[in-house]
Chains A and B, each alone.
Chain A
Amino acid sequence: MTLEEQLARRDFLKQLGAASAAALACGGTSAWANTEAIIQPKATADSCILIWLAGGMASPDTFDPKAYLPFEKGLEVKKILSTFPAIDTSVDNIKITQGMENIAKVMDRGTLIRSAQQPDLGHILHSRHQYHWHTGYVPPLTVAAPHIGAWMSRVLGPKNPVMPAFINIGQRLEGVGEKEELKAFTTAGFFGSEFGPMNLPYPEHAVQSVQPPKGMQPGRFSNRYKAYKELIDQNPNRELMSDFQQASMIRAMDNAYRLLSAEEKKAFDLTLEPKESYDKYNTGRFGQGCLLARRLVEEGARFIEVTTEYIPFKHWDTHENGHTTVKRLKEEVDRPIAQLILDLEEKGLLDRTLVIVASEFSRDMMIEGVPGSKAKDQSRAKTEKLGEMKHYGLHRHFTGGTSVAMFGGGVKKGYLYGKTADERPLLAVENPVSVEDLHATIFTAMGISPKTAYDVEKRPFFATKDGTGKPVLDIFA
Chain B
Amino acid sequence: MFMHPKLSAFLTATLLSTVISLPSLAIDFVHEVAPILKAHCSKCHTGEKKKGGLAMNTRAELLKGGENGKAVIPGNSAKSLMIELITSKDDEEWMPSKGDRVPAAEIAILKKWIDSGMQWEPGFSFGETSWEPPLKPRTVSLPPAKKNRNHPIDRLLDANLKTIPARTSDAMFLRRETLDITGLLPTPNALSTFLKDSKPNKRKQVIASLLKDDIAYADHWLTMWNDLLRNDYTGTGFITGGRKKITPWLYKSLRENKPYDQLARELLAPTKESAGFIDGIKWRGTVNASQSKDIQFAQNISQVFLGINMKCASCHDSFIDRWTLEEAYNLAAVYSDTPLELTRCDKPIGKMATAKWLFPELGDIDAAAPKAERLKQLAGLMTHPDNGRFTRTIANRLWHRLMGRGIVHPVDAMHTRPWNEELLDYLATRFAKDNYDIKTFIAFIMASEAYQSQTVVLKEDPGSDYAYAGPVAKRMTAEQFLDTVWQITKSNPTSMTAKIDRSEEKAPPPKAMKAPSQTPTPISAKWIWPAGPTANKASFKKLLTLSSLPPTALTKITCDNAFTMTVNGKTVASSKEWNKPVSCDIAAQLKTGINTIEIEGEMFGGSAGLICQIEFIDGKKKRVVITDKTWLARKPDENWQAAAELHSHGAGPWGAILSSATAAPSKPKQGPQRPIRAALVKNDFLMRSLGRPHRDQVVTTRPAELTTLQAIDLSNGSILADTITRGAKHLAATGKTNTELIRWLYQYALSREPTANEAAILVGIAGTEQTALVIEDVLWPIFMLPEFQIIR
Contact = CB atoms under 8 A, between A and B. Distances in A.
B131 interface: no
Given A223-B777, A260-B712, A22 B787 contact: no
Given A220-B777, A245-B473, A458 B413 contact: yes
Given A125-B285, A164-B708, A242-B459, A224 B127 contact: no
B360 interface: no
B16 interface: no
A428 to B, nearest CB: 21
Contact of B696 (A184, A231, A248): A184
A198 B457 contact: no
Interface stretch (A9-17, A64-72, A99-107, A291-299): A9-17
B242 to A, nearest CB: 10
A124 interface: yes
B416 to A, nearest CB: 9
A197 B765 CA distance: 34
A13 B709 contact: no
A122 B288 CA distance: 11
Contact of A9 (B30, B694, B761): B30
Contacts of B459: 242-244
A250 B704 CA distance: 13
A214 interface: yes
B234 interface: yes
B412 interface: yes
A278 interface: no
A24 B47 contact: yes
A37 interface: no
B463 A260 contact: no
B197 interface: no
Contact of B410 (A27, A244, A259, A260): A27
Interface string B286-315: 111011000000010000000001011010
B410 A26 contact: yes
B88 interface: no
A141 to B, nearest CB: 7
B458 A231 contact: no
Given A142-B697, A227-B777, A227-B781, A252 B706 contact: yes
Interface in A8-38: 8-9, 12-13, 16-18, 21-22, 24-28, 35
Nearest to A223: B765
A274 interface: no
Contact of B412 (A187, A225, A243, A457): A457
Interface string A219-245: 011011101101110111101101111
B38 A16 contact: yes
Contacts of A196: 709
B290 A252 contact: no
A140 B696 contact: yes
Contacts of A464: none
Nearest to B783: A228
A257 interface: yes
A76 interface: no
Contacts of A235: 758, 785, 787
Contacts of B284: 123, 125, 128
A224 B766 CA distance: 10
Given A16-B34, A243-B458, A123 B286 contact: yes
Given A231-B781, A244-B461, A122 B708 contact: no
Nearest to B785: A231
Interface stretch (B118-126, B350-358, B378-386): B118-126
Interface in B206-262: 234-239
Contacts of A164: 708-709
Contacts of B48: 21, 24, 458
A18 B128 contact: yes
Main secondary structure of the interface of A (DSSP, over half): helix
B575 interface: no
A212 B528 CA distance: 50
B458 to A, nearest CB: 5
Given A140-B291, A141-B291, A243-B457, A17 B124 contact: yes
B757 A194 contact: no
A373 to B, nearest CB: 10
B785 A256 contact: no
Given A25-B464, A224-B765, A245-B475, A256 B708 contact: yes
B755 A236 contact: yes
A123 B708 contact: no
Interface in A99-133: 120-125, 127-128
A17 B784 contact: no
Interface centre among A120, A211, A457 (most CB of B within 10 A): A457
Residue of A221, A231, A255 ringed by the most chain B CB atoms within 10 A: A231
B708 A252 contact: yes
**Chain A interface size, under 10 / 10 to 19 / 20 to 34 / 35 or more:** 35 or more
A240 B319 contact: no
Contacts of A122: 285-286
Interface residues of B, number: 93
B126 A17 contact: yes
B30 A13 contact: yes
Contact of A198 (B34, B709, B789): B709
A16 B38 CA distance: 7
A124 B286 CA distance: 9
Nearest to B456: A243
Contacts of B703: 192-193
B259 to A, nearest CB: 30
Given A253-B706, A256-B711, A240 B457 contact: yes
Nearest to B280: A140
Given A21-B128, A184-B696, A128 B781 contact: no
Interface stretch (B426-434, B444-452, B671-679, B714-722): B714-722
Nearest to B705: A248
Contact of B2 (A5, A13, A227): A5
Contact of A248 (B237, B706, B717): B706
A271 interface: no
A253 B458 CA distance: 20
Contacts of A138: 288
Nearest to B416: A26
A178 B284 CA distance: 12
A459 B780 CA distance: 41
Interface string B140-158: 0000000000000000000
A419 to B, nearest CB: 28
A18 B715 contact: no
A142 B290 contact: yes
Interface string A133-149: 00000111111100000
Contact of B716 (A187, A212, A242): A212
Contact of A181 (B236, B309, B787): B236
A22 B716 contact: no
A234 B757 CA distance: 7
A180 interface: yes
A246 interface: yes
B281 interface: yes
B716 A194 contact: no
Interface string B10-46: 0000000000000000000011001100100001000
B377 to A, nearest CB: 26
A249 interface: yes
Contacts of A223: 765, 777
Interface centre among A142, A187, A232 (most CB of B within 10 A): A142
B710 interface: yes
A333 to B, nearest CB: 28
Interface in B773-792: 777, 780-782, 784-787, 789-790, 792
6 contacts: A4-B2, A8-B1, A193-B689, A221-B716, A231-B761, A260-B715
Given A13-B124, A235-B787, 15 more contacts: A16-B38, A18-B47, A123-B285, A138-B288, A142-B291, A143-B311, A180-B234, A184-B236, A198-B712, A216-B721, A228-B780, A232-B785, A255-B708, A457-B311, A458-B309
Closest 4 CB pairs of A and B: A122-B286, A256-B711, A213-B721, A228-B781
